[in-house]
Amino acid sequence: MCWSNRNSIFLTKIVLLIFAAGYLAVVLTCPLLTDCFVRLSFSAAGISKWLFAATIYAAAVPVGLLLWELWQLLCDIGLEEIFTGDNVRRLRIISWMCFLAALICLLSMLYYVFWGILSACLFFMGLLIRVIKNTFQEAKELKEEADFTI
């Protein structure tokens, strides 16, 4: 079988759907998960499970929007609509959602220091997506110039 861009996009969509299913599972079972975590984790002993639940639910909003925008981006790429204003906007939203989730995790370090690891990863991911967004923006402008040149 020849591996193509179409196959790659299909595989990425499947992985994204699996991730979205995990996201929904965590959101729906959050009180149970946080209760188990606080009971079983030495580092979380004595911390209210509701603090963890509040962090997870607060971060669920930007993560959900991020997943939706990423799905839309993949759909456009599958249609070979790559360097468009919509995709630049989607990448901008994705980067801001990474930064927002990073901020939520950073604030959650007030009660659990290990949120800082996730915060740093999210912040770095937001920066990477921002660089990709800027690249898409430049490519979009070059494409528009080339379209006007005959």
**Number of domains present in the structure of the chain:** 1
Q: Which tens digit of pLDDT belongs to each residue from 1-14?
A: 588 888 999 999 99
- For the chain, give the percent of residues with pLDDT over 90: 91
Query: Looking at the predicted structure, is the pLDDT value of residue 84 above 80?
Result: yes
Q: Could you write out the DSSP letters of every residue in the chain?
A: ----HHHHHHHHHHHHHHHHHHHHHHHHTHHHHHHHHHHH-STTTTS-HHHHHHHHHHHHHHHHHHHHHHHHHHHHHHTT--S-HHHHHHHHHHHHHHHHHHHHHHHHTTT-TTHHHHHHHHHHHHHHHHHHHHHHHHHHHHHHHHHH--
- Range from 3-12, 58-67, 119-128 carrying the lowest mean pLDDT: 3-12
- What band does 145 get if pLDDT is binned at 50, 70 and 90? confident
Residue 88 neighbours by CB under 8 Å, 6+ apart: 133, 136, 137, 140
Q: Which tens digit of pLDDT belongs to each residue from 88-102?
A: 999 999 999 999 999
Q: What is the mean pLDDT of the chain?
A: 96
pTM for the whole thing?
A: 0.92
- What band does 150 get if pLDDT is binned at 50, 70 and 90? low
Q: Which tens digit of pLDDT belongs to each residue from 16-54?
A: 999 999 999 999 999 999 999 999 999 999 999 999 999
3: its two tokens: 């591996």
Domain containing 18 equals: 5-148
From the list 99, 96, 109, the residue with the least C-alpha distance to 52 is 109
pLDDT of residue 23: 98
d(CA 74, CA 135): 17
